[in-house]
Amino acid sequence: MTPQFDLVGTVVTDMARTLDFYRRLGLPIPPGAETEPHVEVALPGGVRLAWDTVETIRSFHPGFDPSGGNSRMSLAFRCADPAEVDRWYAELTAAGHHGELPPWDAFWGQRYAVLHDPDGNGVDLFAPLPAG
């Protein structure tokens, strides 16, 4: 199955200031979200927009550096299942694309991998892990 575009993720240095900006643009961000390390909202059409603090990203990518070589925005694609994350990561890296973080079982319950497109933009692949 082809991965489905699902989410635009951004890395923020000041969650409260960022969310205030997007609330002013009319996004339905719940009260109190500014104290969370990860926030997301569904947009019309079903795509989600998410914000993560630098600390959140560093919890699984310790070398993340928002001032230099790492992308602060990524596009995330939902795969049919965890095996598809592995398959698409292998296919794209075999085709010469940069694999930033190989597939792993993330603590938030997803099989996850991070690549870069030809211009260095972040592209995440994910699928829910089986329950249990």
Do both 78 and 124 map to the same domain?
yes
For residue 2, being part of any structural domain is answered with no
Q: What is the mean pLDDT of the chain?
A: 91
| CB-CB contact of 7 with 47 (8 Å) | yes
Distance CA 100, CA 114 (A): 5
For residue 68, being part of any structural domain is answered with no
Give mean pLDDT, residues 38-58: 93
User: Within 13 Å of residue 126, how many CA atoms lie on the same side as its CB?
Assistant: 18
Give mean pLDDT, residues 26-42: 94
pLDDT at 116: 86
For residue 21, being part of any structural domain is answered with yes
Do both 55 and 84 map to the same domain?
no
pLDDT at 119: 66
Q: Can you tell me which residue has the tokens 């991998």?
A: 113
The model's confidence at residue 95, banded by pLDDT at 50, 70 and 90, is very high
- What percent of the chain lies above the pLDDT cut of 70? 97
For residue 107, being part of any structural domain is answered with yes
Q: Count the domains in the chain.
A: 2
pLDDT at 131: 86
Distance CA 128, CA 5 (A): 15
Whether the pLDDT of residue 4 is over 90: the answer is yes
pLDDT at 69: 64
pLDDT at 70: 65
The model's confidence at residue 111, banded by pLDDT at 50, 70 and 90, is very high
The pTM is what? 0.79
Whether the pLDDT of residue 38 is over 70: the answer is yes
> Residue 7: which H helix or E strand, with range?
strand 4-12
Range of the domain at 16: 7-60
Distance CA 70, CA 90 (A): 21
Long-range contacts of 53-60 (CB under 8 A, 24+ apart): 53/11, 53/12, 53/13, 53/15, 54/11, 54/12, 54/13, 57/11, 60/101, 60/104, 60/106, 60/107, 60/112
> Among 89, 104, 114, which residue's Cα sits nearest to residue 11?
114
Q: Which 3 state secondary structure label does DSSP give 27?
A: coil
